[in-house]
Chains A and B, each alone.
Chain A
Amino acid sequence: MANIFPRWSNWLPIKILVCVAVVAASIVSGMAYYFTPKYTRVGYQPTQPVEFDHSLHVNQLGMDCRYCHTHVEKSSHSNVPATQTCMNCHTQIKALSPKLEPIRQAWKNGQPVPWVRIHKAPDYVYFNHAAHVNRGVSCVACHGHVNRMQVVWHDQPQSMGWCLECHRAPENHLRPLDQVTNMDWEPPAGTSQRELGQKFVREWNVNPPVSCAGCHR
C-alpha cells in the first residue's frame, strides 16, 4: 500500500511547531515591551545641558510653576522658560556659578539652551495644557512630584488608556483652582478626593471628551 501522506508531510509538525514558537515568542516579547512602562518611557531621565534642580527652586525657594512656564494657563503648549527668565535672577544670584555657564553663553551669543525633551505627545495627539490647568487638573497629575525631583524624569505613562482613565473619572484628580500648582496639596481633613472631585464635576460642569475628536484631529 502506497503512503497516504507524501514524504514532505514528515516535516510538517516540526514546521508548524517552529512557526507557533516564533509567533508566540514575538507576541510575548512584543507584550513585554509594548505593554510595560518601558515603552511609555516611564523613568526616562536624560541629562540636561544645565543641571536645573526643580526641588531647589520649588521647595526651597517657593517658586510657582508659572514663574517659568508662563503660558501654561493660556496656551496648549506649556513653554520652557526663555533664557531671559533664568537671567532675571542669575545676573545677581550665583552670577558666576560654573554650572550656569551654558545659560550665560546662551544669553551672550543668542543661541538658546537646547533642553532635552522628556514628555512628548505623538503628532496626532492634540493635548492642551490650558484646558486642564484652568479646570482643576494639577501639574502633579501628569508630571508627578516635580517639586521633589532634582533631575526631572518621565513619571506617568501618558498612554491613551492612562488619559482615558481620568477623562472617564475626572473626580479622582480635580482640585481647587488655587491649588493646581501646589504639588503637595492634599484634600482637607474630613473630605476625600472623590467627594471633593464629584462636587467640582457638578459645580463646574466638568465633562471631558472621551471620543476620538477630543484629542485626534
Chain B
Amino acid sequence: MKRVLSHPAASAHGRTYWRSLGEYAQTPDFEDWLHREFPAGAAEWEQDPLSRRTFLRLMGASLALAGLGLGGCRRPEAYLVPFNQSPEWVVPGKTMSFATAQPRRRGAIPLLTTTFDGRPIKMEGNPLHPASQGKSDNHAQASILDLYDPARRRHLTLQGKKATAEQLDAEIQRIRTEAAASGGATLAILADETASPTRERLRAELVRQYPQATWAVYEPLAPGYDTEASTAAFGPGTQFRANLAEAAALLAVDCDFLGSEDGDLTDTRGFAAGRRIRKPGDRVSRLYVAEPRFSVTGSMADHRLRLRAGEVGAFVLEMARQVRSLRGSPELSAAITAAPDLGLPHEVDSAWIRECAADLVANAGKSLLLVGRRQPASVQALALAVNSALGSMGSTLLVQPAFALPAASLQALVARLQAGAVKSLIILGGDPVYNAPADLAFGNLLASVPTSLHLASLPNATSAKAKWFVPGTHYLESWGDALATDGSYLSIQPAIQPLWAGESQLEFLCRLTNRPKPVGPALIKETFAARINQSGLNLEQAWNNFVREGFLPAASSPTARSVNAAGVAALTAKLPEASEASAEFLEVAFVSSPAMDDGRYLNNGWLQEWPDPMSKLTWDNAILVSKKTAEALGLRNEIVKGILVADVARATLAGQSLEAPVMIAPGHVDFAVSLPLGYGQEELGPVAKGSGFNAYVLRRTDSDYLASGLTLKKTGKTRQLAVTQEHQMMEGRDLVREATVKEFNQNPGWVKKVGMDAHIPPNQNFYPAPTLDGDYQWAMVVDLSTCTGCNACVTACTAENNIPIVGKDQVMKGREMHWIRVDRYFTGEPEQPEAVAQPVACMQCENAPCETVCPVNATVHNEEGLNVMAYNRCIGTRYCANNCPYKVRRFNFFDYNQRSLEKLYWGPLAAKGTEETIKLQKNPNVTVRMRGVMEKCTFCVQRIEEAKITAKVRARDSANIRIPVGSLKTACQQACPADAIVFGDMKNEKEAVGQLRNLPQNYGLLEYLNVRPRLTYLGRVRNPNPAMPGARTSYLPSHGHGDETHHGQKKGVPH
C-alpha cells in the first residue's frame, strides 16, 4: 500500500503567507524557482573560462604530475612545540573566558570573550550582568571578525607613506608645544562616542592643560536630540530609557527598539517577557507601532500603522490630545498648549489614534509611548510629557544620569576649521569624511588643516585624507572601560596583545596629555578607585572582582522624576509641521542599516552576508519604497532566474544626486523612501568593495534624518540584488501558525487543527526507525510569540560553527551557507501586511529522509536523536539535500575557506590558502569543511560532547554522568536576546524543552510527512485590540475542521 501525500493547496486557508512580491503575484518565474532545490544554475557549470573538457584534461595532467612525486604520500614529520615556561592558568586545549564589553555609542554591551590558545574565538553576553544575562546581538557576535580583519593597517603612515614611531613622537611633541603656546586654541579633537569614563577623565585633563582646545563628539546616528529632550524635561545631565518588562501596552512611533534603534538587550528581553504566553490566561502585552518602513519592531506589532517619519510630530501631538482628553496632567496640557496646531497626519484614521490612546490610558502606569531617538527633540519632549501623564515615570520609563559630559558639536568644530583657527586636528575613531553631513564638506576642510591625525582600528576615508594615520586597537586588544545603558560600569578587558602595533584612544590621549604610557590596566584602575572611593570597599578585592565579573553595578538606581512642564513646553513650541509628499516630491529618511550600522562594519563579511531581517537583502543596500510609489514612478523589481533584478534610479535631493537600485518593500509608507546608510565605502577593504551605495552624500546638517523634496528618476539601468528571501521556499503549507489571545484561551491546541495536522492518518514508517535509547534526547523549541526575527542567532551560529561567507555572486545562486535561517513571512496585502519570523535550522528528524539516501552513511542517526554528519565521509552526492523537506542542508560548492571569493571559478589556478588572521578566529572544535562536502546544523554537537565529557571527567569513578540542567546551550540559544530558543533533553522532566514540547500550542513543520522533527515551534499568539479600526478578530483558518476535500490529500491509493 502506497499512500500518496500531496501537499495541501495554499489557498485552502483564509490567510495566505508570502515571502516576496514574486510569490504574492505567482509569476511563472517564481513557480519555476520554487521547484528547484537551488536556483537555476546553482548546480551547473557556467561562467567559467574553461570548458568542462579542458578542465578534465588539465585535471588529468595535474594528477599524473602529482603521481610523479609519490613522496607526497608519506606523512610529513610534525613537531610538538611546548611552552618554554608555562603561563599561569593556561591549559593547552582548554578555552578561557574573560569579561569584557563592546563599546557602542549609547553604552557598551557587556560580553564574555572565549579564548583558545590565547586567541579570542567567540563572543557571548556576560551572564552575570543584568542587562545582558548572557545574551548578545549580531554586532557583538560579529565584532570578533573585525579584530582579525586583514585590511587593518599594520603601521603608521604619514601622508600615505610608512612612518616611524620616532617621527610620530616628534610630531606629537610639536603639537603639544604649539598648543601650549596658544592655550590650546590651535588644537581640536574630534572623537566618536565610546561612553568611557576614563576617556572623559583624560579629556578633562587635556582641557585643563589646554583650556582653549575644542573637544567635539560626532556620531552620525546619535544626533543627541534625546539628550536635548531629557535636559528640557528632567534637567541637565540626565538621560532616559525604557523598562519594557513592566509594560502592558506600548506604542512605538518610528522607533525600532527591537532592531536598529541602539537599544539595549534589556529592551528585547523586557518585551519578550511581556509576550511570553504558556497557558490560557497568561497576560500578554500589546504593541502598537506607527512607522514608515517595516522594521523588526513592526513585525512584532499587534497593530501597525504606516506613517511617514515627517508626520510623527503631528501624530504624537494628536496622540497627546487624545491622552489629555482621557487623563490630563498639567505638564501635558502645557506642552500641548505651547505646540503649534498641526492637524492630523494624512491618511491616518483618527479612530486608530483614539483607540490606541484609550488603551494606553486604560493601562496607565504600565503603558509607554516610545519615539525614535532621531526624531526632533520637540517630538521626544512631547512624548515624555505624554508618558508622564500616562504615569510611566519610574515604572516603564526610567531616568538616570547621562554618561557623557556635553561636548562641542561637529558643526561647532567645522566653524573653527573654516575660520582657520585650528592648526592640529586629532580624530579619534569614527569616519567623519565619509559620514559627516555633505554640506560641511568635511573632507576638504580636513585637507586644509596643517596637521591632522586619525586613530582608528581600520583605515577608512578619513584616514586617507588625514596627514597621519595611527593604527588603533580593537576593543579586545586594549584595556578600556565604558558605561552600559543601565549606568553600570564595565571593564573592557583585552583578550589578546595587539595583533599589530596599535594603540588605544586612551593610550593616545596619554601621549597628548604628557602622561607616561599606561602599564596594563593602570588608567582604568585609577578611574575605578575614584568610583568606589566612597563605598568603603577594599580596592584590590573590588578591582579583582570588577575585572573577573566585568562590571560594577550602577551607583544609583533610576528614580522617578517629574517632567518640567516649562522646559517641555519650550521645546514643543518648535514641533515641526507635517511634511507634504507626493510621487514627485518624496520624503526621505536616512536610516541605519541593521547590518552595517553607520558603516563601521562594512568590511565584515559575516555582516555582509547576514540577511537584513526584513528585506532579506545581503551584500547591498537599496532605496526602499512602497509598491504604490514604485508603480507611480514606473520602477520595477523583477525576478529573473531567481535573482532580484532591481531598476536603478537616480535620487536627487537639493542638487545632490546618487544612483541606486530601488527595492519594493512591503509595508513601506507611500511617497517616502528609506535610504539605508553605511554602504558604498570602496576603500575600506576587499569585502566592502562594490557593496551598495553611499547615502551620506545626500544627507545635510538640516536633514540628518529626514528631508523632503527627493525625486527618483528611472535610469534604465538595473542591478542584481542578492536576496535570500526566495531561496528554499516551502510554499503555503501552514508553516507559521497564529492565533489571537482570545482564540488561544479558548483552544490552546489550535495549532493541531491547522492545515493537514488534523487529518493525518496513523503513519507507518517504510524504513526501520532508529533506536533512540541514549541518555539524552535532544530537542529544541522555538517560541514564535517572542522571536522578533532579529537574526542574532544567524551570526552566533556563523561564529560558532566556522561557517564561511560565499559572496554576493554565490548568494544570488542560492548557495549561502547559514545553518540557521530566519524565514520571514508576510501576510495580507502588500501595502499593509503583517509579518512573522520563523527561524529554521536542521529539524533533526527522527525519521530523517536525508539518512536513507546517503550512499556512504555520512549522515546517520545517533542514539540521542541527533542527525549527525561525518564530514570526512561525505562524498558530495547531494542526495540528502534533495531529499530534505526543509531545505536546511548546505553544500560547499567551492572551497570557500581556501580560495578568495573573487576567484572561486578559477579552481586550482587561483592561489590556495587564507589569511592567517582569519584562521585565528576559527573554532578549533568544529571541522572546517572543504569543497564538495554537505553540512548542516548539528544542534552544536561540539558543545554537547564537550558538556558530556566535562560531566564524565567530574564524575570520575561515580555513576553520576548527567549534564547539569541548564549548563548546555547551543550557540543560537545562547545569543537569542528574546530567549525564544530553548534547547535541551526532552526526556528530562526538569528541562524546559520537554515541558514546552508537551504544551498544546507546540507543533512541528510538515508533521504529516512523519519525519518527526526534533525542532518544533510554539504557535504565535497575537494580542489585537478589538476596538481598533480594521482589527483582525481571527487568525485561524477560515475553513472548519474535517473539511478534507480542500486538502488535496488522496488517501490510501492501492498499487
Listed in ascending order, the chain A residues whose CB lies under 8 Å from chain B are 41, 46, 70-71, 73-77, 79-85, 106-107, 110-117, 120, 122-124, 126, 128, 130-131, 134-136, 176-177, 200, 203-205, 207, 209, 211-214, 216-217
Interchain CB contact under 8 A, A81 and B942 = no
The reply on B863 being an interface residue by CB < 8 A is yes
B941: chain A residues within 8 A (beta carbon): 213, 217
Task: Say yes or no: B957 contacts A204, CB within 8 Å.
Answer: yes
The 4 A-B residue pairs with the shortest CB-CB distance in the complex, in nearest-first order = A77-B93, A211-B862, A75-B93, A205-B959
Interface centre among A126, A135, A204, A212 (most CB of B within 10 A): A212
> B928: nearest residue on chain A (CB-CB)?
A123
Q: Who on chain A is nearest to B951 by CB?
A: A131
0/1 per residue, B394-420, Cβ < 8 Å to A? 000000000000000000000000000
Docked pose: A166 CA to B1005 CA in angstroms = 40
What is the chain B residue whose CB lies nearest that of A134? B953
- Per the bound structure, the CA–CA distance linking A122 and B75 in Å amounts to 11
Pick from A79, A113, A126, A211: contact of B863, CB under 8 Å: A211
Known: A75-B94, A203-B959. 13 other contacts (CB 8 A): A71-B94, A83-B82, A110-B84, A114-B81, A116-B79, A116-B80, A117-B80, A207-B961, A212-B860, A212-B862, A213-B868, A216-B927, A217-B927
Instruction: Return B854 CB to nearest CB of chain A, in Å.
Output: 12
- A38: min CB distance to chain B, Å: 11
Per-position contact with A for B68-91: 1 when CB-CB < 8 Å, else 0?
Answer: 000000010111111111100001
User: B456 interface residue, CB < 8 Å from A?
Assistant: no
Contacts of B173 in A (CB 8 A): none
Residues of A within 8 A of B938 (CB): 213, 217
Which residue numbers of B lie inside 8 Å of A, CB to CB?
A: 75, 77-86, 91-94, 775, 860-863, 866, 868-873, 925-927, 938, 941-942, 944-945, 949, 952-953, 955-961
On chain A, the residues within 8 Å of B81 by CB distance are 112-115
Question: Are A82 and B82 interface neighbours, CB within 8 A?
Answer: yes
Docked CA distance A32–B79 (Å): 28
Q: A46: which B residues are within 8 A, CB to CB?
A: 77
> Which of A110, A120, A203, A209 lies at the interface centre, i.e. has the most chain B CB atoms within 10 A of its CB?
A209
Docked CA distance A80–B93 (Å): 12
- Residues on B with C-beta less than 8 A from A216 are 868, 870-872, 927
User: In the complex, A152 Cα to B92 Cα: how many Å?
Assistant: 22
Say whether B868 contacts A212, CB under 8 Å: yes
With contacts defined as CB atoms under 8 Å apart, how many contacts are there between chain A and chain B in the complex? 141
Q: List 28 A-B contacts (CB under 8 A).
A: A41-B75, A71-B93, A79-B92, A82-B82, A82-B84, A84-B84, A84-B85, A112-B83, A115-B82, A116-B77, A117-B78, A126-B942, A204-B955, A205-B955, A205-B959, A205-B960, A205-B961, A207-B961, A211-B860, A211-B863, A211-B868, A212-B860, A212-B868, A212-B873, A214-B945, A216-B870, A216-B872, A217-B942
Nearest A-chain residue to B941, judged by Cβ = A213
Would you call A120 and B78 a contact (CB within 8 A)? yes
In the complex formed, the residue of B with least CB distance to A106 is B84
Please, which residues of chain A bring their CB within 8 A of the CB of B925? Answer: 126, 217
CB contacts (< 8 Å) of B775 on chain A: these are: 207
Q: Are B871 and A134 neighbours in the complex by a CB distance under 8 Å?
A: no
Q: B862 near A131 (CB under 8 angstroms)?
A: no
Alpha-carbon separation in the docked complex, A110 to B94 (Å): 24
In the complex formed, the residue of B with least CB distance to A133 is B953
> Which of B82, B860, B873 has the most CB atoms of chain A within a 10 A radius of its CB?
B82
Are A135 and B952 also in contact (CB < 8 A) when A217-B925, A217-B927 are? yes
B79:A117 contact, CB within 8 angstroms: yes
Q: In the complex where A117-B80, A126-B942 touch, is A77 in contact with B961 (Cβ < 8 A)?
A: no
The answer to whether A77 touches B92, judged by C-beta atoms less than 8 angstroms apart, is yes
**Closest-CB distance, B862 to chain A (whole angstroms):** 4
- Residues of A near B93 (CB, < 8 A) are 71, 75-77, 79
Bound: A123/B24 CA distance, A: 47
List the A residue with the shortest CB-CB distance to B858.
Answer: A212
Cα A55 to Cα B827 with chains together (Å): 75
With a cutoff of 8 Å between Cβ atoms, the chain A residues found around residue B868 in the complex are 211-213, 216
| Smallest Cβ-Cβ distance to A211: which chain B residue | B862
CA of A106 to CA of B926 in the docked complex: distance in angstroms? 33
B956 and A82 contact, CB distance less than 8 A = no
Determine the residue in chain A with the shortest Cβ distance to B871: A124
Alpha-carbon distance A75/B92, docked complex (angstroms): 7
- Taking CB atoms, residues of chain B closer than 8 Å to A205 are 955, 959-961
Task: Give Cα A110–Cα B959 distance, bound, in whole angstroms.
Answer: 45
Q: Which of A75, A200, A213 has the most CB of B within 10 A?
A: A213
Chain B residues within 8 Å of A114, by CB: 79-81
Task: Name which residue of chain B comes closest to A79, CB basis.
Answer: B92
| Contacting residues, chain A, for B961 (C-beta < 8 A) | 205, 207
Contact partners of B84 in chain A: CB under 8 A: 82-84, 106-107, 110-112
B contact residues around A77 at 8 Å (CB): 92-93
**Contact residues in B for A124 (Cβ distance below 8 Å):** 870-872, 927
Q: For the complex, what is the distance from the CA of A180 to the CA of B942, rounded to whole Å?
A: 27
* A128 CB contacts on chain B under 8 angstroms: 949
Contact B942–A136 (Cβ < 8 Å): no
**Residue numbers in B under 8 Å from A126 (CB-CB):** 925, 942, 945
> Which residues on the B side are within 8 Å of A107 (C-beta)?
84
When distances are taken between beta carbons in the complex, the residues of chain B under 8 Å from A106 are 84
Residues of B within 8 A of A75 (CB): 91-94
Name the A residues within 8 Å of B926 (CB-CB): 217
How far apart sit A133 and B694, CA to CA, in the bound complex (Å)? 59
How far is A111 from B81 in the complex, measured between Cα atoms in Å? Answer: 9
Task: Give A176 to B92 CA distance when docked, in angstroms.
Answer: 26
Measured CB to CB, the nearest residue on chain A to B872 is A124
Question: Which chain B residue shows the least CB distance to A44?
Answer: B75
Query: Bound complex: CA of A81 vs CA of B80, how far in Å?
Result: 10
- CB-nearest residue of chain B relative to A75? B93
When distances are taken between beta carbons in the complex, the residues of chain B under 8 Å from A71 are 91-94
Given contacts A82-B82, A115-B79, contact A122 B872 (CB under 8 A): yes
Residues of B within 8 A of A130 (CB): 949, 953
Query: Knowing A41-B75, A131-B952 touch, does A217 contact B945 (C-beta < 8 A)?
Result: yes
> How far is the CB of B739 from the nearest CB of chain A, in Å?
37
B956/A135 in contact, CB under 8 A: yes
B-side contacts of A110, CB under 8 Å: 84
Give the docked Cα–Cα distance between A107 and B83 (Å). Answer: 10
CA distance A200 to B953 in the complex (A): 15
Q: Using CB atoms, name the residue of chain A closest to B863.
A: A211
Q: How far is the CB of A139 from chain B (nearest CB, A)?
A: 16
Residues in B whose Cβ lies below 8 Å from that of A70: 86
Instruction: Report chain B residues within 8 Å CB of A80.
Output: 80, 82
User: Considering the chains assembled together, what is the distance between the CA atoms of A46 and B869 in angstroms?
Assistant: 35
Contacts A79-B92, A212-B860 given: A123-B927 contact, CB under 8 Å? yes
CA–CA, A82 and B861, complex, Å: 42
- Are A115's CB and B94's CB within 8 A? no
- How far does the alpha carbon of A136 sit from the alpha carbon of B872 in the complex, in Å? 30
Closest chain B residue to A110, Cβ basis: B84
Report the separation of the CA atoms of residues A177 and B957 in the bound assembly, to the nearest whole angstrom: 7
Question: How far apart sit A216 and B873, CA to CA, in the bound complex (Å)?
Answer: 10
**What is the distance, in angstroms, from B16's C-beta to the closest C-beta of chain A?**
40
The complex places the Cα of A84 from the Cα of B926 at a distance, in Å, of 32
Chain B proximity of A39: nearest CB distance (Å): 10
In the complex, which residues of chain B have a beta carbon less than 8 angstroms from the beta carbon of A212? 860, 862, 868-870, 873
